[in-house]
Amino acid sequence: MSGVAACDDLPEPKGTRFVKTIIEPFRIKVVEPIRMTSADERARCLRESFYNVFLIRARDVLIDLLTDSGTGAMSSEQWAGMMRGDESYAGAASFYRFQEKMSEITGFEWILPTHQGRASERILFELIGGANKVVPNNAHFDTTRANVEHSGAEAIDLPIEQARDPRNRFGFKGNMDVAGLEALIEHVGPARIPAVMVTITNNSGGGQPVSLENLRAVRSVCDRHHLPLFLDACRFAENAWFIKLREKDQQDRSPAQIARAMFDLADGATISAKKDGIVNMGGVLLCRDRPC
């Protein structure tokens, strides 16, 4: 594709400050202990859970690689912000601060905070999903697929061919197969597709980024068929950084500007704030137009 480069040919981003240090540039103020387990205990837990990691109790997990959710530590300012939070029953100042910042980052007007990203998905697909409907995605995250299918709709993944080859060094292996999307729309008809979804970064595809060029191409297909485009934007900041590093003519833009460009292409988004938002709990559902 003309607008992206292979990883080996990536330019160094301009105006970027790289910190080189022999120590971590922060202090750790809170330490959470974990329970040490033996190999025999771990083997027993696996057997008793029928080798389904979702059935293992968290207290029995020594190193948790199940999810990237909730693995970041909050800053001292974030913890202080929780203490300054307004717990009014209605009209809380905390909500308006949240709304203002989310609108600044994303450009969306209609903003609904949720307790987790999967709750945002549940609300979205309870509204737009249903039997005989089809939801295409570059690759559905597991909770997204579960919420799509729980509504009665069919979740279909449309990754590009390079995403299937671990040795391929293409810089944007998270991209959606645009020709495959066109073929799917022609096959099932646009009336059966309530929305097209793109996950940035593509978590189920190995956390691979999606290029702006690809998002624009998907947007163009959606416009031709009058379909809304939603982003699963849990890793939007990382995706913006990859675009800055790897995509042609993007090196002089800030990650915030690139993130806004991604959101400007969408009609809505679901976000788990426990990823790039680095909060201890929460999510958000975003819409461009007033919800029905």
- The mean pLDDT of 143-147, rounded to a whole number, is 92
> DSSP letters of 99-124?
HHHHHHHH--SEEEEESSHHHHHHHH
Residue 292: pLDDT band with limits 50, 70, 90: very low
pLDDT tens string 11-49: 555 555 656 778 878 887 788 888 899 999 999 999 999
Give Cα 179 distance to the centre of its chain: 23
Residue 167 reports pLDDT greater than 80: yes
CB atoms under 10 Å from CB of 129, counted, come to 22
- Which pTM value belongs to this model? 0.82
Residue 3 reports pLDDT greater than 70: no
Q: Which residue has the tokens 């027993």?
A: 44
pLDDT tens string 227-243: 999 999 989 999 999 99
Q: Which residues of 75-106 are buried (b: 16+ CB within 10 A; e: fewer)?
A: eeeeeeeeeeeeeeeeeeeeeeebbeebeebb
**Could you tell me which residues come within 8 angstroms of residue 184 by beta carbon, excluding any fewer than 6 positions away?**
134, 136, 156, 158, 193
Tell me how far apart the alpha carbons of residues 265 and 216 are, in angstroms, rounded to a whole number: 7
pLDDT tens string 72-112: 778 888 888 888 888 888 888 888 988 999 999 999 999 99
Confidence (pLDDT) at 10:
55
Residue 109 CA neighbour count, 13 Å, CB half: 4
Give me 219's structure tokens: 């947007």
Task: Specify the DSSP element, H or E, that contains 135.
Answer: strand 134-137
Confidence (pLDDT) at 1:
47
- The mean pLDDT of 55-80, rounded to a whole number, is 83
Domains delineated in the chain: 7-16+73-287 (3.40.640.10)
> How many H helices and E strands in the chain?
9, 7
Confidence (pLDDT) at 83:
86
